[in-house]
């Protein structure tokens, strides 16, 4: 693929799909494998039209036929249709303090590959050069074809600022990103479609897919505990960005000069207790030696996150609350236990339905996986806009 700098290119689908194609794809993405008769009924299509559309999608290899189903009645068994991973793939990239992470995801939403490499620069040009090199290596190693590449998602830790939706107040260790036009910079360099989104929002998308919630509920809230603390909102099975692009920015709820439910705060707490760890990446070495300190922090942070979650539930009434982040799974589990306490969700009406509470299986990789899912997700989500 040509990853060299090029002229301005607008995002556009690399698979030619019309509105009805997208409706079928979205139905399969949210329901799983289903027979043609179910698709026709759900979408209000005549059998002849659906047969033609399905044939076209089969030729594009974005869907596939699965094993026959028998309903126990006489006649021809039904053949379910499902999304096919052969339809294409997308990449997602994000940067952490000390390393760069890339994920590749196929059209069916399955992770093909993950890659992490040392990286320590605040310069966005260094980032795109590094992504260029790693993408070349990954696609060569996995045997993926350039013609099937659907685009790149880039995760940026920082909110959209008032100067415009294309500029973000990136975190301090990515201060060089604050001066770029996110919509233009990456596409001008790469020459293919690029989507740029907040890291916690992309983690929400990844967790929504990975947990299977996309088939069970139409909305979800995500709490993301990394170096900082953030959140994401899924509404009507799509990413909710808000009026100014900052929906889910729960970090503003916690003062910077007070204890916060963030990874940096946990690191400071451990250092105050005598732990000599230089960064969060050595946190696992303290899980046993400082278990009491970590549990006490998790109880306090869990209470803080619980207030944020309960407020979001009161406003949005989501089907699920997801806890994710780059902290070790063991720490996330303890935080999750505090979130799941029945008293957390008590109200004057005991008969209210409450959201499911999930703890991430993806952990820190949720951001890069969500970034890779975004170009693929948008191909179908456009149908519900």
pLDDT band at 14 (very low <50, low <70, confident <90, very high): low
What is the rounded distance in angstroms from the CA atom of residue 187 to the CA atom of residue 271? 42
Q: Residue range 91-118: average pLDDT?
A: 94
For the stretch 329-340, pLDDT in tens is: 999 999 999 888
pLDDT at 3: 40
| pLDDT tens-digit readout, 194-225 | 999 999 999 999 999 999 999 999 999 999 99
Model pLDDT, residue 338: 86
pLDDT tens string 302-317: 999 999 999 999 999 9
Angle (CA) 218-222-223 rounded to 5° is 165
Instruction: Report whether pLDDT(73) > 70.
Output: no
- pLDDT higher at 253 or 341: 253
pLDDT in tens, 250-297: 999 999 999 999 999 999 999 999 998 888 888 888 999 999 999 999
Other CB atoms within 10 A of residue 71 CB: 9
**Beta-ladder partners of 325:** 225
The confidence band for 16, taking pLDDT boundaries of 50, 70 and 90, is confident
* pLDDT range class, residue 51, cuts 50, 70, 90: very high
Kindly tell me if the per-residue pLDDT of 41 is higher than 70.
yes
What is the structure's pLDDT at 2? 41
**pLDDT tens digits, 139-165:** 888 888 888 899 999 999 999 998 877
pLDDT at 5 over 70: no
Give residue 204's pLDDT.
Answer: 98
Question: 317 vs 241, 304, 343, 344, CA distance in Å?
Answer: 17, 19, 18, 15
For position 183, what pLDDT does the model report? 86
- Residue 332 CA to residue 182 CA, distance in Å, equals 31
Residue 9 has pLDDT above 50, yes or no: no
Window from 70-74, 194-198, 366-370 with minimum mean pLDDT: 70-74
d(CA 324, CA 105): 19
Cβ(85)–Cβ(108) below 8 Å: yes
Q: By the 8 A CB rule, do 334 and 295 touch?
A: yes
Span 30-58, mean pLDDT?
A: 95
Q: Which domains does the chain have, with CATH numbers?
A: 19-86 (1.10.10.10), 88-203+368-384 (3.30.420.40), 212-360 (3.30.420.40)
Assess whether pLDDT exceeds 70 at residue 8: no
Give the per-residue SS3 of the chain. Answer: CCCCCCCCCCCCCCCCCCHHHHHHHHHHHHHCCECHHHHHHHHCCCHHHHHHHHHHHHHHCCEEECCCECCCCCCCCECCEEECHHHCEEEEEEEECEEEEEEEEECCCCEEEEEEEEECCCCHHHHHHHHHHHHHHHHHHHCCCHHHEEEEEEEECCCEECCEEEEECCCHHHHHHHHCCHHHHHHHHHCCCEEEEEHHHHHHHHHHHHCCHHHHCCCEEEEEECCCEEEEEEECCEECCCCCCCCCCHHHHCCCCCCCCCHHHHHHHHHHCCCCCCCHHHHHHHCCCCHHHHHHHHHHHHHHHHHHHHHHHHHHCCCEEEEEECCCHHHHHHHHHHHCCHHHHCCCCCCCCCCEEEECCCHHHHHHHHHHHHHHHHHHHHHHC
Q: Give the rounded percent of residues in the chain with a pLDDT score beyond 90.
A: 75
The mean pLDDT value for 176-187 works out to: 93
Provide the pLDDT for residue 349: 63
Residue 12, pLDDT score:
55
So what's the pLDDT on residue 315?
94
Distance between CA 290 and CA 276 in Å, rounded? Answer: 11
Task: Determine whether 62 is exposed, middle or buried from the number of CB atoms within 10 Å of its CB (0-12, 13-18, 19+).
Answer: buried
Please report the pLDDT score of residue 15 as a whole number.
80
Residue 362's nearest CA partner among 92, 29, 39 is 92
Q: According to the model, what pLDDT value does residue 71 have?
A: 54
pLDDT at 69: 61
34, pLDDT greater than 50: yes
- The sign of the dihedral angle between the CA atoms of 285, 291, 295, 296 is negative
- What angle separates helix 47-60 from helix 19-31, to the nearest 10 degrees? 80
Report the chain's mean pLDDT, rounded to a whole number. 89
Q: In this predicted structure, what is the pLDDT of residue 340?
A: 83
């Amino acid at each position: 693929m040509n990853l060299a700098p090029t002229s301005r290119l607008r995002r556009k689908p690399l698979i030619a799909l019309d509105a009805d194609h997208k409706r079928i794809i979205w139905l399969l993405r949210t329901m799983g494998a289903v027979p043609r008769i179910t698709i026709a009924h759900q979408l209000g299509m005549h059998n002849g039209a659906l047969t033609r559309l399905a044939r076209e999608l089969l030729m594009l290899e974005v869907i596939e036929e699965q094993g026959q189903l028998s309903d126990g009645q006489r006649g021809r068994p039904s053949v379910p249709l499902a999304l096919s991973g052969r339809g294409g793939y997308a990449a997602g990239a994000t940067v952490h303090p000390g390393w760069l992470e890339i994920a590749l995801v196929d059209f069916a939403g399955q992770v093909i590959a993950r890659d992490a490499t040392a990286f320590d620069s605040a310069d966005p040009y260094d980032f795109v050069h590094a992504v260029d090199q790693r993408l070349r290596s990954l696609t060569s190693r996995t045997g993926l074809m350039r013609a099937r590449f659907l685009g790149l998602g880039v995760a940026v830790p920082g909110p959209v600022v008032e100067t415009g939706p294309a500029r973000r107040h990136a975190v301090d260790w990515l201060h060089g990103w604050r001066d770029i036009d996110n919509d233009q910079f990456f596409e001008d360099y790469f020459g293919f479609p690029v989507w740029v989104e907040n890291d916690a929002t992309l983690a929400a998308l990844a967790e929504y897919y990975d947990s299977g919630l996309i088939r069970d509920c139409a909305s979800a809230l995500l709490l993301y505990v990394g170096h900082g603390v953030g959140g994401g909102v899924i509404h009507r099975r799509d990413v909710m960005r808000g009026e100014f692009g900052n929906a889910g920015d729960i970090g503003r709820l916690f003062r910077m000069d007070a204890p916060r439910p963030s990874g940096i705060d946990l690191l400071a707490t451990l250092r105050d207790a005598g732990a000599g760890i230089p960064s969060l990446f050595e946190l696992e070495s303290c899980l046993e030696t400082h278990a009491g300190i970590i549990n006490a922090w998790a109880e306090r942070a869990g209470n803080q996150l619980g207030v944020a979650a309960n407020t979001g539930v009161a406003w949005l009434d989501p089907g699920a609350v997801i806890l994710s982040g780059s902290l070790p799974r063991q720490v996330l589990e303890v935080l999750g236990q505090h979130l799941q306490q029945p008293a957390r969700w008590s109200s004057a009406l005991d008969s209210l339905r409450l959201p499911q509470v999930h703890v991430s299986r993806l952990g820190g990789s949720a951001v890069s996986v969500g970034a890779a899912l975004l170009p693929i997700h948008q191909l179908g989500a456009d149908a519900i806009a």
